[in-house]
A and B are shown apart, each in its own frame.
Chain A
Amino acid sequence: MKTVDIVERIEGEARLNCTWENGFVKDTQIDFLNFRGFEYILEGKPALDALVYTPRICGICGQAHLKATVEALENIYKSLNEELVITNKAKILREIGLNIEIIDSHIKWFYMFILPDVIKLKENDLKEYSPLKGKRWLEACKTASETIKALAIIGGQWPHTSYMIPGGVVSDPTLLDLTSMMNYLDLAINFFEDSIAGVSFDKYLSFNSVDDLNILNEDLKYFTNLSFEYSLQKYGTSYDRHLALSDSSISKRGKIRQRLTDKLDLNKIKENCDRTFKVEEDSKNKEKHTWSKAVTYNSMFYETGPFSRAMVSHREFIYELHKSYKDSVFTRVMARVDEIAHLLHSTKELIKQVDISEESYIKPKISLKDIPKANAKSVVEACRGSLYHNVSIEKGIITKYDVITPTVWNLGPAIKDEKGVAQKAIIGSPSLDIAKIVLRSFDVCSVCTTH
């Protein structure tokens, strides 16, 4: 038996094709049928305009793209031995902005894209978790909206600010601004304590064993109970190989194949287009079924995202959950929600570290327009995982721009007989509902694949 389903309530739309045998998914294919051509758009544009364009690749993780663009352009200076001086203040303000956007995204993802589907396994009436109406749904939405205000203080607005620029950041917050930012984060911490985890923030941050699941209350307890009732701690396992291309304020770069290493070589990242539509050809080729490319590190598929970050950084609670429940839907979702707490904690600390007497911005001595030819890469940990930008410029004009988003790592198609990460995870699902939850556990973003 074959099924073809349109999956909505992700960012954008995807098509999930499943082949069934004895009631289980035997094979699967994920199609992203939409393409917006950002890499093409960027060609021929002035380099600094990329700061306006790339955040618009994605309405939810635009700040990750902004940071990746800024750092790629700054790495151009570095490649010419003209490294820019970026003050500690500017670096921290960038990290804070990125973190806040990730917190916003994680909260929305859990309440809007995951929890409703998991509850639906058991209940028809979502009650307080009902989209747009339910009390808890609205509280979650409010918390995300209050949290993002902290970013608007330094970015001017969200979504789609370009407050990071080569040389620093455009804004110069006061102590009062920083205080307000901490206030907004405190609202999110309160929500985490009262509604997400149901335990005190400090207690949660000290979690380090699988038994700590028993201390949870509120929505994580509800999610845990439902997960065990419907075996989500068993479904959704994939290669269990993890990659984090960049450091962040709460995690380290590195990869786990069988063991952990922090040695990474960006030249080992390779994109594959065997199954990917091309702009230049009108493809009737049956092999090609998606706009998403596939990507490997050293010829191997790796998962990326909050779960992989937790694994690579050996964050204890998630590391322990993984020992019992491997790379299942349950562990993957828990890792993402867990990251909310660690990000909130770390971001508040970062705000305290901002020295307002430092410069926000130091103007580069050389204009990108005066650089005959150069190329540079950058990597950033975005809400869904590792993001890679690679830009080539000539006299200030972009000649080539390559973007590899986390969704491509996790949800790209197979290469030869080797299944993509999410594809492999979906195989073995006992129902379409579970298959879709497995797919969702990677946080599908179809606008991400359409670079």
Chain B
Amino acid sequence: MKSHKPTIVWYQAVTCNGNTHSLLSASSSRLELFLNSFDLIYHPSLTIDTTLDDILKLKDIDFLLVEGAITSDEKYYSINQNSTKNILEKLSQKAKYIISVGSCASYGGVHKKFEQNDDILGVEEIIDTKKYKNLKHEIVNLTGCPVHPEWILQTVFSLNSFSRMSLDDEKRPRELYSNLAHHGCTRNEYFEWKVEGDFGQKEGCLFYDQGCRGPMTHSSCNKILWNDVSSKTRAGMPCIGCTEKDFPRENMLETKKNIGIPLDVPLGIPKRAYLSITGVAKTFKIDRLNKKLMD
């Protein structure tokens, strides 16, 4: 692959750098292929010979990847002596594709909770895509706190090969966000039979008490495993719904209930249907599911 490689600019705004470290934790053969297939010409933590000023002088960028929320407030945030909003606008004019990497870039995320700065936004809220002539595609939101590295790689490779991706209402790639975090969770059987779990156990479902949002969160965390080995819910940590717009919510590690029943039921399931099935399932005491998985 010696021909011209599509250029990538990784722009960091208001961020903890978590998505950068997620990317670096990608499956190493995949990351190597990615770095070999594209020319990552600028990343503030990684590249050495290019400055942001150099990038601002370029005419075109193929892929603009944005990490972090955006603010025009220079009191709280400035990069290269300019506001993150100004720089984003300049970079966006050059880009063929803009990808918001992570929940902060997508809609402000955790940083939006810093209310003393009431001007924290996601990329999509700032960039009016009609105004940017170079753009070949809608802005793609890769939500998640952080985003899964493989989702970044698949999105960039896919846009590069097919110039298109089907997006959902939140502008997330359908192929990555149509599934729920629940799909593929190793605790599914406990969910089906309403066997409640607790922290520190391999057994039981975390939906009933520990606040797990797996059944209402769009993500492929249990389909494409994290760090190639596991997922939060597999390990025993409830899904906190970090790919959804309402993240971070309040009381993320407990289930809001009404008369002992989870207030929020699985996505799209009528409450009556959920309650009926729950009632039936609970009348059975399945021995195997109430025992330790391994003794």
B231 touches A157 (CB 8 A): yes
Q: Which of chain A's residues 252-299 have a Cβ closer than 8 Å to chain B?
A: 277, 279, 282
Tell me which of B26, B231, B236 has the highest count of chain A C-beta atoms within 10 A of its own C-beta: B236
Which single residue of chain A is at the shortest CB-CB distance from B234?
A156
A222 within 8 A of B: no
Q: When A35-B76, A171-B237 are in contact, do A360 and B200 touch as well, CB less than 8 Å? A: yes
Distance of A217 Cα from B20 Cα, bound (Å):
31
What sequence of 0s and 1s flags, for each residue 176-210 of chain B, a beta carbon within 8 Å of any chain A beta carbon? 00000000000000000000001111100000000
List, in ascending order, chain B residues with CB within 8 A of A430's CB.
none
B85 within 8 A of A: no
Tell me which of A53, A90, A132, A133 has the highest count of chain B C-beta atoms within 10 A of its own C-beta: A132
B21 touches A156 (CB 8 A): no
A53 touches B227 (CB 8 A): no
A172 touches B202 (CB 8 A): yes
B28 touches A116 (CB 8 A): no
Stretch from B44-52, B57-65, B128-136, B262-270 that touches the partner:
B44-52
What sequence of 0s and 1s flags, for each residue 346-359 of chain A, a beta carbon within 8 Å of any chain B beta carbon? 00000000000001
Number of interface residues of B (CB under 8 A): 70
Q: Which of chain A's residues 29-50 have a Cβ closer than 8 Å to chain B?
A: 33-38, 40-41, 45-46, 48-49
B22 touches A361 (CB 8 A): no
B146 touches A160 (CB 8 A): yes
Interface range, A side: 35 or more
B286 within 8 A of A: no
Which single residue of chain A is at the shortest CB-CB distance from B46?
A131
> When the two chains form the complex, which single residue of B77, B227, B228, B233 contacts A35, counting CB atoms closer than 8 Å?
B77
Shortest Cβ distance from residue A185 to the other chain B in the assembled complex, whole angstroms? 14
What sequence of 0s and 1s flags, for each residue 214-235 of chain B, a beta carbon within 8 Å of any chain A beta carbon? 0000000100001111111111
B24 touches A46 (CB 8 A): no
Tell me which of A36, A45, A165 has the highest count of chain B C-beta atoms within 10 A of its own C-beta: A36
A40 touches B45 (CB 8 A): no
B32 within 8 A of A: yes
Q: When A170-B199, A282-B75 are in contact, do A11 and B24 touch as well, CB less than 8 Å? A: no
Shortest Cβ distance from residue B240 to the other chain A in the assembled complex, whole angstroms? 6
A154 touches B235 (CB 8 A): yes
B7 within 8 A of A: no
Which single residue of chain B is at the shortest CB-CB distance from A108?
B24
B146 touches A168 (CB 8 A): no
Which 4 A-B pairs have CB atoms at the shortest separation, nearest pair first? Answer: A361-B200, A59-B18, A360-B200, A156-B235
Can you list 10 A-B pairs, Cβ within 8 angstroms, ordered by A? A10-B45, A13-B79, A49-B248, A57-B16, A59-B20, A60-B21, A145-B24, A155-B232, A157-B231, A180-B229
Q: Which residues of A contact B (CB under 8 A)?
A: 6, 8-13, 33-38, 40-41, 45-46, 48-49, 51-53, 56-60, 62, 90, 108, 112-113, 116, 120, 126, 130-133, 138, 141-142, 144-146, 148-149, 151-163, 165, 167-172, 174, 180, 277, 279, 282, 359-361, 363, 447
